[in-house]
Amino acid sequence: MALFNRPRLLDFKNSPPHLQFNRYVLSGYRPVSTFQECLRSLFYVHNESGNIYTHGIPFVCFLLLMPLSIPWSQKDAGWICVVHYMACLSPTVGSVLYHLFMNHKGGPAIYDILLSLDMFGVCLVNTLGALPIVHITLLCFPVYRCAATAAYLSLSGYGIYSAVTARSNVRRLRAFAWQALFRFFLFLLRWLGPGAGSPASLRLYLTMDFLALLGGLVNISRIPERFRPGRFDYWLNSHQIMHMLVALAIVYLHWGMLEDLRWLQSFRCDPSNH
């Protein structure tokens, strides 16, 4: 029975100072805890429960179900499948660890490491998730494909540095702007004609980026809790809404990549491009 004993939860003013980043969440804070106590918090309700499970449940689903739909044996697409699978898993892993252990007794030092890990997971889905898109979009233009891949990796390196060193949600969201603009340029190439890829995947990728952007904007705006402080302390606050939108964005990324992989099986480039 001790496993399920809930400690006395704290209000905003009495919570650890490094956890006082959303002044509209007024209650439900866990006290400073050991590693084991953080793990036990999986089994009672607090104001991080929704954040843990809105990415924890998708992680388990992605981990177990995505491999069933990925064409691992498809010729010349093995690396795409591996990179895509890693991209889909990466943001949920870092997020769960961050929200589960953020009140660890190690204090701000441990918190900063966990936050950087969370941001690194988000950067990975932006980086790894786009590499197959770059490859397929410029499939018939190998020189441009190599240059675009190098450029995107450079932007990703800058984005990772900016995200893990940012000190506000606005700056963290801004860190991914150049990557998003680069992807939009690739989508324009597909729409206008020179770029390759499944016609059905473009709409899915655009939906993916729209959902991710919407989630980021909801998170920095603190909606809906800013209108009813204390009302959304446990469920359906802005961060949880962002988590659900991000998980849905990953699903659209997966659907788009499956469309591209099906298209890739029968497409052949004009030899004059090589």
Pick out the residues of the known binding site for Zn(2+). Answer: 99, 239, 243
Q: 233 vs 19, 45, 46, 230, CA distance in Å?
A: 14, 11, 9, 5
Whether the link from the prior residue into 142 is cis, omega within 30° of 0, is no
Tokens 């190599």 appear where? 146
Crossing angle of helices 78-101/108-128, nearest 10°?
160
Sheet strands (E) in 123-239: none
Q: Distance (Å, rounded) from C-alpha 5 to C-alpha 45?
A: 11
Q: Which two tokens stand for residue 64?
A: 């177990």
Closest to 130 (Cα-Cα) out of 8, 2, 256:
256
Amino acid 149 reads T
* Binding positions: 99, 239, 243
> What is the C-alpha to C-alpha distance for residues 53 and 157, in angstroms, rounded to an integer?
29
Are 175 and 156 in contact by the 8 Å Cβ rule? The answer is no
